[in-house]
Structure 1
Amino acid sequence: MYVPDETDLEIIRLLRKNARLQWREVGELVHLTGQAVGARIRRLEEHGLIRGYTVMTDDEKLGKPLTAVVTVLMKSNRHAEFISFVQREPSVTEAHRISGDGCYSLLVRASGHDELNGMLDRLLEYANYRLHLSTQLIKSHRH
């Protein structure tokens, strides 16, 4: 198993803030050449420490202002069917199997109450739920 050193961790921190940084720019910040940074990034990718790159969007500006956290309480052992449902459901942006109170936790982004209620109605085929609506984003690891 590959264990990243402090320079690798700093490269990851920089790329999390701005994945569009050029290797040369990262190198200036970690005191390496761009070529050396490229080699480190490739190694981090090969070992699965960096799994990909993405574009961060503002869901509210894209018409999805409603954020809900849904705790799922399974009614049966149809977990595989439920997981398939979650993977097909476009309003579910994250899904976690959890311990403690509930079986799963879903993060849902919806255009409004109609979209949210439609997803919740479909969810009832598999599980009961507890719903929490977000009133303000305070911190996100994605920003």
Structure 2
Amino acid sequence: MDQVDKQIIEELSRNSRITMKQLGEKVHLTGQAASARVARLEDQGIIEGYTIRVNQEKVGYTVHAFISIFTQNTYHQPYLSFLKTQELFVIHNYKISGDSCYLLECQFPSNAVLDQFLVELNRYVNYKLSIVINK
């Protein structure tokens, strides 16, 4: 991976919908050459996919929370299985070091839905909740 590849990744990180012609202009290549490099980066697994950013408030998710997860034993599968049923709310489940075992990032349409989620979550683990006040 050379400097041009790094520039391509940086430009695609800013705007993954950019045309190959525009991308090429930004990194001083032809559109065809930029497209070939992007395809190579995809084939090598360096670029794994493309995403969009969604305004969560505009689609109805107004409560953003970080939940520190404390497991009661070393068998985490019941907790992990529960999370698979909650994909609508779970953004990321990070396995971490430190005081807790996981850091769960979630979004909810209301405090009532968050409360219901926490009641169910508490069947599997203990937790500490932090709600985002401002981004």
Show CA shifts across 1:37-87 (max 9, x none): 111111111111111112211011110011000000002333122112112
Q: Which amino acid aligns with 1:41?
A: V
Alignment of 1:122-141 (within 5 A): 122-137=120-135
Match of 2:103 in 1: 105
Alignment of 1:1-143 (within 5 A): 4-89=1-86, 90-137=88-135
Could you tell me how far apart the structure 2 residues matched to 1:126 and 1:46 are?
40
Identity between Structure 1 and Structure 2 (%): 36
Could you tell me how far apart the structure 2 residues matched to 1:80 and 1:97 are?
13
TM-align CA RMSD: 1.0
Instruction: Point out where structure 1 has 5 or more consecutive residues left out of the alignment.
Output: 138-143
Q: Secondary structure, in 3 states, of the residue corresponding to 1:21?
A: coil
Query: How many residue pairs are counted as aligned between the two chains?
Result: 134
Instruction: Point out where structure 2 has 5 or more consecutive residues left out of the alignment.
Output: none
Could you tell me how far apart the structure 2 residues matched to 1:93 and 1:51 are?
18
**Mapped contact 1:78–1:126 kept (Cα < 8 A):** no
| Superposition TM-score, scaled by structure 2 size | 0.94
Match of 1:141 in 2: none
Q: Secondary structure, in 3 states, of the residue corresponding to 2:91?
A: strand
